[in-house]
Amino acid sequence: MQALVFDAYGTLFDVHSVARRCEALWPGKGAALSAAWRARQLEYTWLRSLMRRYVPFSQVTRDALGWACESLALALDEAKLSALMDEYLKLSLFPDVRESLQKFKGAKRAILSNGSHDMLDPLVAQSGLELDAVLSVDEVKVFKPAPEVYELAVKKLGIPKQEIGFVSSNGWDALGAKSFGFQVFWVNRSGAPLDRLGFAPDRTVASLRELA
């Protein structure tokens, strides 16, 4: 394997702190809000891709938060919106990331994310991770799991897809990558059932440490 390509949110970076901030702003509603926000965020990436109405992930994320707050009758003002969006710029790495990435040093290591560079670049910079590339779907103006997204990694890294290992904690992302033709490792951190999308990952692990 000449390269390992990682999903960012949920795979390398723990989005739990976003939920914590939701709870701090609206005590008792944090879990419901962050679940509704995350679900709508993903839905909007899929819907906009199908409608051919791409906007950057930062916009999708703001839009989804607006919908989620309205659905729960929570008043969202500019200050709260900024506070929550800021959390995305300083997410923590999962505890197994730094050590595991060291072990993959023989291969190129890259991120391939739905995130736009305005969200991804500050996040990666503050993490101190050393990577060969940080790739955003913003270059192809369509979100995962469209094959154009995974193709971007092939083009940018200059490595054939059969020699790229793709690592994601999102089952649907792992299967989209498998449908495209990568070797796929599903880091099933939450013990979720495998999605029924006609494919299976090459290997399912519980953590990056197990993968290393």
Interface residues with a copy of itself (CB under 8 A) are: 39, 43-44, 46-53, 55, 63-64, 66-67, 70-71, 142-147, 172, 175-176, 179, 192-193, 195-198
Identify the bridge partners of residue 205 per DSSP, sorted by sequence position: 187
Least Å from the CB of residue 52 to a copy of itself: 7
- The dihedral of CA 63, 67, 72, 76: what is its sign? positive
Q: Which of 7, 96, 138, 173 is catalytic?
A: 7
Q: Give the integer Cα–Cα distance in Å for 201 and 183.
A: 8
Q: Give Cβ neighbours of residue 157 (< 8 Å, ≥ 6 apart).
A: 2, 3, 5, 108, 110, 132, 133, 164
Per-position b or e across 57-76, b if 16+ CB within 10 A of its CB: bbebbbebbebbbeeeebeb
Identify the bridge partners of residue 93 per DSSP, sorted by sequence position: 13
If phi > 0 it is left, if psi is from -120 to 50 it is alpha, else beta; for residue 141 that is left
Least Å from the CB of residue 128 to a copy of itself: 33
CB-wise, 12 or 146, nearer to a copy of itself?
146
Whether the Cβ atoms of residue 204 and residue 186 lie closer than 8 Å to each other? yes
CB-wise, 17 or 179, nearer to a copy of itself?
179
Least Å from the CB of residue 97 to a copy of itself: 26
Give the closest residue to 177 by CA, choosing from 135, 211, 210, 148: 148
CB-wise, 121 or 148, nearer to a copy of itself?
148
CB-wise, 106 or 198, nearer to a copy of itself?
198
Least Å from the CB of residue 67 to a copy of itself: 5
Least Å from the CB of residue 168 to a copy of itself: 13
Q: Note if 96 is an active site residue.
A: no
CB-wise, 71 or 162, nearer to a copy of itself?
71
User: Which residues are identified as catalytic?
Assistant: 7
